[in-house]
């Protein structure tokens, strides 16, 4: 299947479903057959990424590589990973990958540049923040990156784990509090740098589209662009 | 991966995403790792099922078999197909399938039996209605099956194609009109016998859960049951 996109998902399942929903919503199609072909691995036994990086948990890399190769064998010509924290291992994944691998960080940063804002808030996992996956790139552009303080960051993490256990409303209240805090501190726009966060702040993003840069949406846009180019080759 | 469930989807993509969302919502999980492992094929170039059955269009069977085997090779131990009309070819698919294949029709009929209602409405594609995929089984149970008249059935089909082309609101208004009509004719409960219909009537089902039997939900429940049994073996 020309242009088949593989989704290395399950980190977590709700974020993977959100990416799938967005592929459908963002594609202009008049019938089933005009939608983008996807093969989605939502096999969630991959060890927790934040646990691995912050608390010496098992590495998720071997299973991520397994499922990446499973997608390749199924015919994927391009692979996307709807998990920001997983991108800590991006270069190792890219090395073992025989097809195109799109980075959610680079796709999101492109939208940061397009926004022309200077003060960029960041809502992400402890590991993504601690490893500086976004801050470094934001600061390289001469922009200012605002992150929650230590106590607030614990609430962000708690909200993310609440969603993973199905407690959507509690997760939303907690995350909204920290988003408001970042805006008060001067953020003009907030990068949702964990793919669970757009699921948690779904209603809020619908209301105030310009206030957020959703990493899942950015990755979907990059995937659709890749697919359209591939059709012309 | 023990218990990996394959989803032969893309017929259409929105219905496949709805099934994925329901697998997540219906699974009691405290973390990513407790969710059900899925491998989802949403490759939508399979010829339209209704066109094939009603207007001599290309058969969808060869590509359905291809993607079924792709899921098997990826390690699926059980396969579900979130498309009712595709179940016209169920016996042929089952014959060429080397793992468990769950039927959406049988899963839905189980919920019809459980409902203990006697007058069963049906919203489905022209082909599913014409081929009698549900009516026969409903009548075998001594129950009464109410289907839309010819003109109303054309509106059901129009609504389904509207969803497939992204026109959700128009699709909803049209489908709600026909559902109301079936209730007026005496339906106590309506089988949503096309996986696009629960996407179209999403809000309505949320409000009046007992009035509808959603074939996608029925298939997800059957899939979760299969997975739980598999874990004990």
Q: What's the rounded mean pLDDT across residues A46-55?
A: 96
Which of the residues B78, B97, B145, B194 is marked catalytic?
B194
Provide, as residue numbers in chain A, all residues whose Cβ is less than 8 Å from the Cβ of B164: 29-32
Which of the residues A31, A78, A83, A145 is marked catalytic?
A83
What value does the mean pLDDT of chain B take?
97
Any catalytic annotation for residue B83?
yes
Q: Is the pLDDT of residue B233 over 90?
A: no
**For the segment B35-73, what is each residue's pLDDT rounded down to a tens digit?**
999 999 999 999 999 999 999 999 999 999 999 999 999
Are B31 and A48 within 8 A, CB to CB?
yes
A70 and chain B in contact, CB less than 8 A: yes
Q: Residue A233's pLDDT band (boundaries 50, 70, 90)?
A: confident
Q: Is the pLDDT of residue A210 over 90?
A: yes
Provide, as residue numbers in chain A, all residues whose Cβ is less than 8 Å from the Cβ of B39: 39-43, 70
B42 and chain A in contact, CB less than 8 A: yes
* CA pair distance A14, A12, nearest whole angstrom: 6
**For the segment A140-195, what is each residue's pLDDT rounded down to a tens digit?**
999 999 999 999 999 999 999 999 888 999 999 999 999 999 999 999 999 999 99
Q: Which of A70, A161, A164 sits opposite B74 (nearest CB)?
A: A70
Flag whether the pTM goes above 0.95.
yes
List of residues 6+ apart from B129 with CB closer than 8 A: B122, B135, B147, B153
* CA pair distance A41, A71, nearest whole angstrom: 7
Q: What's the rounded mean pLDDT across residues B65-93?
A: 98
Q: What is the pLDDT of residue B1?
A: 85
Q: What's the rounded mean pLDDT across residues B99-109?
A: 98
Q: Which is nearest to B44 in space by CA: A219, A41, A23, A72?
A: A23
* CA pair distance B207, A102, nearest whole angstrom: 40
* CA pair distance A130, B97, nearest whole angstrom: 47
Residue carrying structure tokens 């009516």: B135
Chain A, window 152-181: residues with a beta carbon less than 8 angstroms from a chain B beta carbon: 161, 164-166
Best mutation target among B4, B7, B13 (most A Cβ atoms within 10 Å) is B13
Q: Residue B159's pLDDT band (boundaries 50, 70, 90)?
A: very high
* CA pair distance B226, A125, nearest whole angstrom: 34
Asked if B78 and B226 count as a contact pair (C-beta separation under 8 A), the reply is yes
Asked if A127 and A194 count as a contact pair (C-beta separation under 8 A), the reply is no
Q: What is the pLDDT of residue A1?
A: 85
Tokens found for residue A196: 């669970």
Q: What is the pLDDT of residue A21?
A: 98
Q: Which of A16, A47, A166 sits opposite B29 (nearest CB)?
A: A166
What value does the mean pLDDT of chain A take?
97
Tell me what percent of the residues of chain A surpass a pLDDT of 70.
100
Are A42 and B20 within 8 A, CB to CB?
yes
Q: What is the pLDDT of residue A25?
A: 96
The nearest CA of chain A is from the CA of B132 a distance in Å of 24
ipTM of the complex: 0.96
- In this structure, the strands spanning B119-123 and B189-192 are parallel
Are B35 and A10 within 8 A, CB to CB?
yes
Are A38 and B33 within 8 A, CB to CB?
no
* CA pair distance B62, B48, nearest whole angstrom: 13
Give rounded-to-5 percent helix, strand, coil for chain A. Answer: 55, 10, 30
- Residues A163, A168, A169, A175: what is their CA dihedral angle, to the nearest 10 degrees? 40
B4 and chain A in contact, CB less than 8 A: yes
Are A42 and B48 within 8 A, CB to CB?
no
């Amino acid at each position: 299947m020309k242009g088949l996109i593989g989704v290395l998902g399950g980190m977590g399942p709700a974020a993977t479903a959100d990416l799938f929903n967005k592929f459908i919503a963002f594609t202009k199609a008049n019938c089933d057959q005009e939608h983008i072909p996807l093969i989605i691995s939502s096999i969630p036994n991959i060890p927790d990424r934040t646990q691995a990086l912050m608390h010496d948990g098992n590495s998720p890399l071997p299973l991520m590589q397994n499922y990446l190769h499973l997608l390749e064998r199924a015919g994927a010509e391009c692979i996307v990973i709807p998990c920001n924290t997983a991108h800590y291992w991006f270069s190792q994944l890219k090395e073992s990958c025989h097809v195109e691998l799109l980075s959610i960080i680079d796709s999101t940063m492109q939208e940061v540049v397009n926004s022309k804002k200077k003060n960029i808030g960041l809502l992400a996992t402890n590991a993504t923040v601690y490893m500086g996956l976004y801050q470094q790139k934001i600061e390289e552009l001469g922009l200012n990156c605002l992150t929650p303080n230590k106590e607030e960051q614990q609430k962000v993490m708690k909200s993310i784990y609440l969603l993973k256990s199905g407690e959507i409303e509690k997760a939303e209240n907690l995350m909204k509090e920290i988003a408001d805090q970042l805006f008060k501190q001067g953020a003009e726009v907030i990068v949702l740098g964990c793919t669970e966060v757009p699921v948690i702040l779904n209603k809020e993003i619908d209301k105030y589209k310009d206030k957020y840069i959703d990493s899942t949406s950015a990755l979907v846009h990059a995937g659709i662009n890749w697919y359209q180019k591939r059709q012309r080759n």
